[in-house]
Amino acid sequence: GVQPFGSSGSTPHCSRQGLPRSAMSHLARKKLHEYQGWPKGIYPMSDGWTPPGYPGEEELIAYEEKMNSRRKAVLVKRHVCVKDPEYESLSMQESMDKSEYSLICMPLMEGPYSGEGEERTWYLIVYYENSKKGKVERAFKSQGWDISDIEQVPIDPDSGEEWEKELMYGHGAGKYKSVVSEYEYAVCEKGTPEHEDPWGPKFAEGPRWE
């Protein structure tokens, strides 16, 4: 059987010896599946069973302490449209690292606002810390795009989208990235049926898309 803490025995999965008092009291208030590092899924089962390879208490506490100690940068964002050649340059890792910004990139479908090849338009959401504003503006201006008049939107560090929270921690660690959507996007103008339809535009080939 499992002997009580403080005896010569230990729990079946891991030992609590060596943990600081604060960690032990914290541990007593949380179940394993409530820790940040617990793999999402069906476990634990209703009877408490988990696979042998799942993390134990010490590993989960160490992971949570590491995650909680990360710096979360306070970010702002701008919505910008550029053509394909500028997108290729601005989304290079070297450029993002130098000017300290990240990108969410969405290609626009061919139509009134986007063409083929170099005329393809990319809708970008540019994330950066406000203190890096000048560096970001210079990076875009070097590609022929003056974004100084585009609205800068602050992001609430406690209620942003999940990907925005990931970017906050990434920027806090000095890591910048470009995330490219696997879908193309259509521009729906106000007053058109496509704009009023909550499901968006419909396409003849739609039923055959996977």
Sign of CA dihedral 43, 44, 50, 54: positive
pTM value surpassing 0.85: no
Give the pLDDT confidence score for residue 186 in this predicted structure.
84
DSSP 31-45: -GGGSTTSPPSSPSP
Give the pLDDT confidence score for residue 17 in this predicted structure.
45
Given a contact cutoff of 8 angstroms between Cβ atoms, the answer to whether 73 and 132 are in contact is no
Q: How many CB atoms lie within 10 A of CB 188?
A: 14
Which position has the token pair 């193309």?
184
Q: Give me the phi and psi of 161, to 5 degrees please.
A: -65, 160
Given a contact cutoff of 8 angstroms between Cβ atoms, the answer to whether 123 and 114 are in contact is no
Given a contact cutoff of 8 angstroms between Cβ atoms, the answer to whether 102 and 127 are in contact is yes
Give the pLDDT confidence score for residue 59 in this predicted structure.
76
Strand pairing class (75-83; 153-154): antiparallel
Rounded Cα–Cα distance for residues 17 and 75 (Å): 41
User: And the tokens for 52?
Assistant: 């042998």
Q: How many CB atoms lie within 10 A of CB 93?
A: 10
- Three-state secondary-structure class, residue 61: helix
In which residue ranges of the chain is pLDDT below 50?
Answer: 1-19, 21-28
Given a contact cutoff of 8 angstroms between Cβ atoms, the answer to whether 80 and 136 are in contact is no
Q: Is 200 left (phi over 0), alpha (psi -120 to 50) or beta?
A: left
- Identify any residues that bridge with 178 across adjacent strands, giving them in sequence order: 103
